[in-house]
Amino acid sequence: MSVAAHQPPDRNRIVIAPADPEEVGARLCLAAYFDLLAERISGVSRAHVPDPDPEADAYRPPAGLFLLARSGNRLLGCVCLKAVGTRTGEVKRLWVDPAARGIGLGRRLMEAIEDAARALGQTSLRLDTNSALIEAIALYRATGWTETAPFGPSFPADLWFAKAL
């Protein structure tokens, strides 16, 4: 199992499926996600989030979910969902490997996590992000997310979004 190679994956062979947040593939994706944050956001380092993820339990059923995108043994992306109330969920840790960007995988991951939230009975979602993650922000805005007031600790988040399901 490896994080994607440099060759773009065949979008028709990508499978998005639930995974345990502490399995090897999930941890590899999260490590790449945190590396991206450290690269793009001043003041963020890998030390901010230990491995394994301290929120792993929140991303497990029955109230949460961790999704992995794969093409064969190649890991291409991930996204998490955790409950923050009986009808509200929070989307966390959306990451798409650079080799898989530009083929709609981020949108597919977000659609999959929104569908999962609906299936869990959630009627609204929220997320936080950082203004340095311009691709993610563009995706959120293009898919109906709207900026909202801060709902949690700020660093490294400086933008908050919400979406009614």
Q: What is the pTM of this model?
A: 0.93
Residue 65 to residue 110: CA distance in whole angstroms: 12
pLDDT tens digits for 105-160? 999 999 999 999 999 999 999 999 999 999 999 999 999 999 999 998 888 999 99
Tally DSSP H helices, then E strands, for the chain.
3, 8
Residue 41 to residue 17: CA distance in whole angstroms: 29
Query: Do 67 and 112 contact (CB within 8 A), yes or no?
Result: yes
Question: For residue 6, what pLDDT is reported?
Answer: 62
The SS3 assignment for 140 reads helix
Question: For residue 10, what pLDDT is reported?
Answer: 79
Q: Name the phi and psi angles at 152, rounded to 5.
A: -160, -170
- Domain extent for 28: 2-164
Query: Do 82 and 89 contact (CB within 8 A), yes or no?
Result: yes
CATH code (residue 150): 3.40.630.30
Residue 5 clears pLDDT 70, i.e. is over it? no
The SS3 assignment for 6 reads coil
Hey, how many other C-beta atoms are within 10 angstroms of the C-beta on 143?
A: 13
Residue 55 to residue 27: CA distance in whole angstroms: 12
pLDDT tens digits for 10-21? 777 999 999 999
